[in-house]
Chain A
Amino acid sequence: MEWIYEPWPWYVSGAMIALVLFLLLMVGKNFGMSSNLRTMCTICGAGNKADFFKFDWKSQRWNLVVVVGAIIGGFIAHEFLTIDATVALNPKTVENLHTLGFENAGATYMPNELFGLSVFSDVKNLLLLVIGGFLVGFGARYAGGCTSGHAISGMSNLQLPSLIAVVGFFVGGLLMIHVLFPLLF
């Protein structure tokens, strides 16, 4: 059981995601995480401002329970299943990140510059988190799904729209990392 404390290899991780997809289908639901953001907006009363949020959010209660599970899962994995949370990145990636100013690249699970508490006194990086989050929320709903809904669920169902969306995810991601990162960091 020692392996469970190590980072999981890609084939175990991929198989586990497929298991999640399978289990959700077998309990009569579909795998898609970003629709929870819409549900949460509705619960907060967004239905008063836009019809898009006028729906019976209780029909999506099951997915909110999955979210609670994902939070608990993160806690369990971090507290009990991980001894060393470093990430074995390609040395080339580490070097690139050093150049951009990320000092602990790979030595921590997340960059301190963005996800350490110090970010709350760093206006620029805090703003980048806000912009990143905004684009994720806006883009996911515009595209009608995110990595789980399109890249896994939709593509598994051989949906052309999902393929278009996933190509879009990559165009956006490549643009951000290769064109915008050198300007932002």
Chain B
Amino acid sequence: MRTLAYLLIGIVFGITMFKSEAASWYRIYEMFQFDSFHMYGIIGTALALGIIITQVIKRFKVTSFFGERIVIPSKQKSFARYAFGGILFGLGWALAGACPGPMFTLVGAGFVPIIVVIIAALFGTFVYGLFKDKLPH
């Protein structure tokens, strides 16, 4: 039952990523050229509604569909990891034109070379794991 819920949420997410064109390499390029409002509109709308949803859930201690307490973890305080990690992620996001959600959507849409990007992203994650303790966090 719960597994089916996760699957359906994933399907809605995948359809949205494709139909919004947020999964299109071109839209990411256009966004960083500031040539279109499209991507900013998407992120802005999602964020505005997201803030309302998150704050209402926290303020009114809303419980989940299964009657459990909803836990929204805080991010660990730091500057270096978010700044350095963020910049490296941004470089890759603009080059590959895909972030870790749309990557998988594009597999379903039949763009075979995205599998190269996914394997490389797995390797990148693995290398981070190897050098984690040597990096400023």
Contact = CB atoms under 8 A, between A and B. Distances in A.
Contact of B46 (A18, A49, A106, A137): A18
Contacts of B76: 144, 161
B33 A26 contact: no
Given A17-B46, A78-B18, A139 B85 contact: yes
Interface in B28-68: 28-33, 35-51, 53-55, 57-58, 62, 64-66, 68
Contacts of B98: 136
Given A18-B53, A69-B10, A168 B105 contact: no
Interface in B53-96: 53-55, 57-58, 62, 64-66, 68, 70-79, 81-96
Binding site secondary structure of chain A: helix
Interface residues of B, number: 118
Interface in A22-56: 22-30, 33-34, 36-38, 40-41, 44, 46, 49-50, 52-53
A114 B115 CA distance: 12
Interface of B: 2-3, 5-33, 35-51, 53-55, 57-58, 62, 64-66, 68, 70-79, 81-101, 103-114, 116-130, 132, 135
19 contacts: A10-B42, A13-B16, A27-B6, A49-B130, A53-B126, A70-B13, A70-B104, A74-B109, A77-B19, A77-B108, A105-B26, A115-B106, A117-B112, A139-B85, A144-B76, A153-B72, A156-B53, A168-B83, A176-B94
